[in-house]
Amino acid sequence: MPSGRTHDRVTLWSLPLIAGGTLYATARADLAFWVSGGFLFSGLIFGPDLDLYSFHYKRWGILRWLWRPYQQAIKHRSIWSHGPIIGTIGRILYLSLWLGLVGLFYVGIARLAGAKTYTGQQLVAILQHSIELNLPVYLALFCGLELGAMSHYLSDWLVSTFKRSSLRNRFDSPQATLRERHSKSKPISKQKKMPVKQAKKLRIK
């Protein structure tokens, strides 16, 4: 599996291609911005390796504890963290759950202080209106998050495949076969006994 620094390099080197490709495909700078931002965020801090103690996890700083229940609930490299689309949706829902709890906490404090707050139905209506109004932006952001995760999946797969093929070629090569046969056919030489006079000299030293 590639190191965290390798994943970072892949993300940063791929960012111009992602931005340029999105701008060319959509002809919209705002969508290219959201795709690129999602790609960078996913590649550096919101990637699949949040399911273990990793670069992604450590970059959350004092908020890294948010991901400890996620790590305990999900096995590393399972479909729920490293699966295409499923992994990204799972992380979005998990983070949204924490944001919702924080929002409810502040709403409760505001109500205790006597401030006017939105009801649950009003909040749902606002969210629905925002999604309908900015659907292309939300889709662009999700595509960026998924592309960032996909760069991680592909890096893991390419490195693992390369290592397996290298080991297979090493052991299947004619030189390796000849060395193996030679080692099996060569008798194990008996250890020569040290002369008594030389042994006495070593003891004296």
Which range marks the domain in which residue 41 is found?
Answer: 4-100+136-163
Is residue 40 pLDDT above 70, yes or no? Answer: yes
pLDDT tier for residue 199 given thresholds of 50, 70 and 90 = very low
Among the residue ranges 1-5, 46-50, 89-93, 123-127, the one predicted with the least confidence is: 1-5
Burial of 151: CB neighbours in 10 Å, binned 0-12, 13-18, 19+: buried
**Residue-level pLDDT at 76:** 83
60-113: pLDDT as tens digits: 999 999 999 999 999 888 899 888 999 999 999 999 999 989 988 888 888 788
The answer as to whether 22 is a domain residue is yes
Q: What is the mean pLDDT of the chain?
A: 81
141-157: pLDDT as tens digits: 999 999 999 988 887 67
The answer as to whether 69 is a domain residue is yes
The answer as to whether 171 is a domain residue is no
The answer as to whether 185 is a domain residue is no
Global confidence as pTM: 0.74
Based on the structure, what is the number of domains in the chain?
1
**Residue-level pLDDT at 13:** 92
The answer as to whether 58 is a domain residue is yes
